C-alpha cells in the first residue's frame, strides 16, 4: 500500500462496491427514498466503474513501464 496510485485504485473500487450495495438495497426494498434513487445510484456506479477501470489500466501500464 505504499504506492499512492494503488491506494487510489483500491479506494475507487471500494466506492464502486459501496454504490452498488446501496443501489441493490434500494431495488430490494421496493419503496422509500432509496428505491426512488436506485436508478441514479446505478448511473453513478457506471461512472465510478469507468473511473476505476481507467485507473487500473493506468496502474498496469505504469507498472509494466517500470514506474
pLDDT band at 60, cuts 50/70/90?
A: very high
The string of pLDDT tens digits covering residues 26-53 is 777 666 666 677 788 888 999 999 999 9
The string of pLDDT tens digits covering residues 4-25 is 999 999 999 999 999 998 888 8
pLDDT of residue 32: 67
Is the CB of residue 61 less than 8 Å from the CB of residue 29?
no
Q: Three-state SS for 29?
A: helix
Q: Exposed, middle or buried by CB within 10 Å (0-12, 13-18, 19+), for 59? A: middle
Query: Is residue 1 over pLDDT 80?
Result: no
User: Which of these, 3, 22, 13, lies nearest to 48 by C-alpha position?
Assistant: 13
* Domain residue ranges in the chain: 4-64
Amino acid at each position: 500500500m505504499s504506492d499512492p496510485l494503488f491506494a487510489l485504485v483500491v479506494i475507487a473500487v471500494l466506492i464502486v462496491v459501496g454504490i452498488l450495495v446501496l443501489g441493490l438495497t434500494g431495488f430490494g426494498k421496493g419503496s422509500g427514498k432509496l428505491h426512488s434513487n436506485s436508478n441514479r445510484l446505478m448511473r453513478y456506479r457506471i461512472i465510478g466503474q469507468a473511473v476505476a477501470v481507467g485507473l487500473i489500466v493506468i496502474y498496469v501500464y505504469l507498472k509494466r513501464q517500470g514506474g
